[in-house]
Amino acid sequence: MRTLKMKIAYRGTKYHGFQRQPNAVTVQAELEKQLSRVLNGPTVVYGCSRTDTGVHANEFVLHLHTEREIRCRNLVRALNGYLPDDISVLACEDAPASFHARFDCKGKEYLYLIHNHESKNPFRTDLAFHYRRPLDVDLIREAGQAVVGTNDFHSFCAQATAETNCIRTIFGFSAERFGDAVELRISGDGFLYNMVRIFVGTLLDINEGVFPPDAMPQILAAKDRLAAGRTAMAHGLYLNRVFY
C-alpha cells in the first residue's frame, strides 16, 4: 500500500468548502470521484484543513492510500484531465506510510486579498473582496502586529465555548499594497473557525474608526466574540501555504 502526498489548488467559488458534506458540492467529493475513476476503485483523501464555502486555496495538501503502481507524474496528468477547471493538482509524491496531511502539519499561511478601489474589477469577481473606502495599510499593519505570538483567540472564533482551547501561536502578519490590491498575510501553527475572517474584519473596522488603532490587545483580552469586529467575506480568503 502506497501513501501519496498531493498538493492542489482550487477556486472555491462553486464549492461548499473542501470537506465532504451530504447534499453539497465540495472539493473533496470532486477529487475522490475523479481519483476513484483514475485508480479504478473507491479512493478517500485526507485534507490538511477545512475551508469555508467560497474560500480558495493556492496550496492545499492532502494524502491518500492506493495499491496502484501508477507513476506520480502520470497520476497528476490523468487527474487534471478529468477535474473541472477550478481544481488543479500541482504535485504528487510518495510519502512515508505514517504521513498524515492534517496531523503532521506544522503551520499554515493565509492570504486575504482586497480590491481597494471605488469601482469593481470584473477580473477579480469572487477572487478578492471589493472595499471602496480608503484603506490605511500602515494603520492595519501596525494594528495587526498585536496578535503575533501566543494568545487566546476566543474573541476571533465564531463557535468557541468556554471549554474550547483557543490558544494559538501566530508567527507573523503583513499588509502590503500593490496598486489597487492590498494583500494581508497571516501565518501560524493553527487557526480557529472563521478566525482569519474575523481578524480581517476587525482590522477593517479599525480602519473605519469603529475601534481605536490600539484596540487589538483589549479585544484579545475580552475572550468574547462580541468584542471583535465583523466577519470579512469568504471570497477574499486563500489558504496560501502549508508547512511541514
The tens digit of pLDDT for each residue in 6-42 reads 999 999 999 999 999 988 999 999 999 999 999 999 9
- Domain boundaries for CATH 3.30.70.660 within the chain: 107-243
CA 106 from centre of chain: 15
Whose CA is closest to 168, among 192, 185, 186?
A: 192
End-to-end CA distance of the chain: 23
Report the alpha-carbon angle 132-172-209, nearest 5.
35
- Torsion, CA 38, CA 43, CA 45, CA 51, rounded to 10: 80
| Gap between the Cα atoms of 113 and 235, Å rounded | 9
Catalytic site includes residue 52: yes
Instruction: For cell 495599510, name the residue.
Output: 137
Q: Buried b / exposed e across 159-182, counting CB within 10 Å, b at 16+?
A: ebeeeeebebebeebebeeeebeb
Distance set, CA 130 to CA 101, 139, 240, 244 (Å): 33, 19, 20, 33
Please tell me which residue in 52, 136, 189, 205 is annotated as part of the active site. Answer: 52
Distance set, CA 106 to CA 60, 96, 233 (Å): 14, 17, 26
State which residues of the chain have pLDDT below 50.
none
| Gap between the Cα atoms of 44 and 41, Å rounded | 10
Give CATH for domain 2-95. Answer: 3.30.70.580
Residue 208, phi then psi, degrees to nearest 5: -90, 0
Q: What is the pLDDT of residue 17?
A: 95
Whose CA is closest to 194, among 242, 230, 227, 223?
A: 230
- Domain boundaries for CATH 3.30.70.580 within the chain: 2-95
pLDDT in tens, 44-56: 999 999 999 999 9
3-state class (DSSP) for residue 139:
helix
Domain 107-243 maps to which CATH number in 3.30.70.660, 3.40.50.720, 3.30.1490.100, 3.40.50.1100? 3.30.70.660
